[in-house]
Amino acid sequence: MGESQLGVDRQKKLALDLFLEAWDKAMNAGVDSDLLSEVLIYMGVTDLVADRGEDWTAEVFEDLPERIREGEFTLPEEMLEALNGRQPNPNFA
């Protein structure tokens, strides 16, 4: 696939908007949010393995538990409120 004409920040915002839209559709169809989370993680990991290989992907996730415990993936309250209202933070990075 070719290089995107969009900047990285614009790609991230667009991807988040599209995933939130799909998330809402799945939730409205009765899919549990925990199951959606697991499926998205699975999709992301399998895509990384296909693109970058098993060793690279394993290295990326090697310190994941520590990063989670240190709060790297804990969203600020204002972003949680925005996501609940489906208004993604324009500063998402």
For residue 85, the model assigns a pLDDT of 60
> What is the chain's pLDDT, residue by residue, as a tens digit (93 residues)?
556 788 999 999 999 899 989 999 999 999 999 999 999 999 999 999 999 999 999 999 999 999 999 999 888 887 777 766 654 444 554
For residue 42, the model assigns a pLDDT of 97
Token pair for 57 = 């992907």
Token pair for 9 = 């920040």
Rounded Cα distance, 61 and 22, in Å:
25
3 state SS of 90? coil
Whether 49 and 57 have beta carbons less than 8 Å apart is answered as yes
pTM (2 d.p.): 0.68
User: pLDDT by residue (tens digit) across 67-82?
Assistant: 999 999 888 887 777 7
Whether 92 and 12 have beta carbons less than 8 Å apart is answered as yes
For residue 93, the model assigns a pLDDT of 46
